[in-house]
Amino acid sequence: MSTFQRTTSSYRAGARTLPREYYTSPAILADERERIVATGWNCAGRASAVAQPGEFLVREIAGESILIVRDSAGTLHAFFNVCRHRGTRICREAAGRFGETIQCSYHAWTYGTDGRLIGAPHMQDVPGFDKAEYPLHQAALAEWEGFLFVSGANDLTEGPVLGGYMEIKPPNQSATMSGRACGHLVSDQLPGEDRTRAFYYTILPNLLLSMHPDYVNYYLVTPVDVDRTRVESEWLFHPGTLADPANNIRDAVDFWDLTNRQDWDIVEQSQLGIGSRRYQPGPYSARESMPAAWDREYLRRMGRS
């Protein structure tokens, strides 16, 4: 994009793309899920999606169904979506709102939104049965800047957080189709130099942040198969921008819709080419130091560095 001047991280001579099997092997994908996804912090979306008591999200992470819910006191919890009775999956919907309780459809074991088992039909006749011993299994949950993570300080050219910034050159004000800003700055606290920069970071394993002076765009990346990935994206704006009928929001959305569709097409073509028996790892240039750093961190997590 000619609008920007890219900053680069340290380049390592001899860096090459990964061998074919890393893009095509079901066995390596399974290994990724165990070594990287199942053991790391995965972004599950925004806390605003579960803002009210009883609201919930269900996310598939490393083959596990994780239920994120806000309890009646306003506290967020993450649970494995598994009944403690017969192991039945409790919640089938991707999102919604519970009443006061969560009930399994098999034998009606019933839980509070804080995970406590509060009803277990017919179990009163079982000697020694204690409901307190059978809450929903918890998953680790953390909130950062409105993002929810289930199951890190890092430098930016090595490690799980990778990225850098681009300068926005006049007369452009932002990354939009017209170059005009969408509206208000995302924060009045932005230092002067950051008001003309766009920051792009990946937080491994599955969150991409695209931060601009006037909006934030983020992506959740979920591996589905060796040749298929689901990407979810949302835009965040200052409340003043949203309230202004003259805002330029559509300009930013259209810009990234066009850019992403072009990128996705190239990625699809790359995946097809890498599947060839004749594919061999190729050299990275100095302007590709970031994907090379991503590869190094990925291999380190896979125990193959």
Q: Is the pLDDT of residue 219 over 70?
A: yes
Q: Is the pLDDT of residue 96 over 90?
A: yes
Q: Given this model, what pLDDT does residue 277 score?
A: 82
Q: Is the pLDDT of residue 221 over 90?
A: yes
Integer CA distances (angstroms), 211 to 54, 113, 218, 235, in order: 31, 34, 8, 10
Q: Once rounded to an integer, what is the mean pLDDT over residues 218-233?
A: 92
CATH architecture for the domain at 43-148: 3-layer Sandwich (2.102)
Q: How many CA atoms lie within 13 A of 292 on its CB side?
A: 18
Q: Once rounded to an integer, what is the mean pLDDT over residues 248-263?
A: 93
Q: How many CA atoms lie within 13 A of 72 on its CB side?
A: 10
Reported confidence tier of residue 4, pLDDT bands at 50, 70, 90: very low
pLDDT tens for 124-155 read 888 998 999 999 999 989 898 899 998 722 33
Spell out the domain ranges in the chain: 4-40+157-301, 43-148
Q: Is the pLDDT of residue 75 over 90?
A: yes
Strand order in the sheet with 4-6: 4-6, 161-168, 197-203, 207-211, 216-225, 228-236
Q: Given this model, what pLDDT does residue 164 score?
A: 85
Q: Is the pLDDT of residue 235 over 90?
A: yes
- Nearest residue to 131 (alpha-carbon basis) of 139, 142, 123: 123
pLDDT tens for 265-305 read 988 999 988 888 888 888 887 778 888 888 998 999 899 87
| CATH code matching the domain that covers 4-40+157-301, chosen among 1.10.10.10, 3.30.43.10, 1.10.10.60, 3.90.380.10 | 3.90.380.10
Q: Which residue has the tokens 């066009």?
A: 258
More confident residue, 122 or 1: 122
Torsion of CA 270, 4, 208, 40, to 10 degrees: 90
By percentage, how much of the chain surpasses pLDDT 70? 94
Query: Which residues lie below 8 Å from residue 177, measured CB to CB, with a gap of 6+?
Result: 251, 254, 255, 258
Whole-prediction pTM: 0.74
Q: Given this model, what pLDDT does residue 283 score?
A: 82
Q: How many CA atoms lie within 13 A of 202 on its CB side?
A: 16
Q: Once rounded to an integer, what is the mean pLDDT over residues 116-120?
A: 93
Q: Given this model, what pLDDT does residue 218 score?
A: 95
Q: Given this model, what pLDDT does residue 159 score?
A: 67
Q: Is the pLDDT of residue 2 over 50?
A: no
Same fold, 4-40+157-301 and 43-148: no
Q: Is the pLDDT of residue 73 over 70?
A: yes
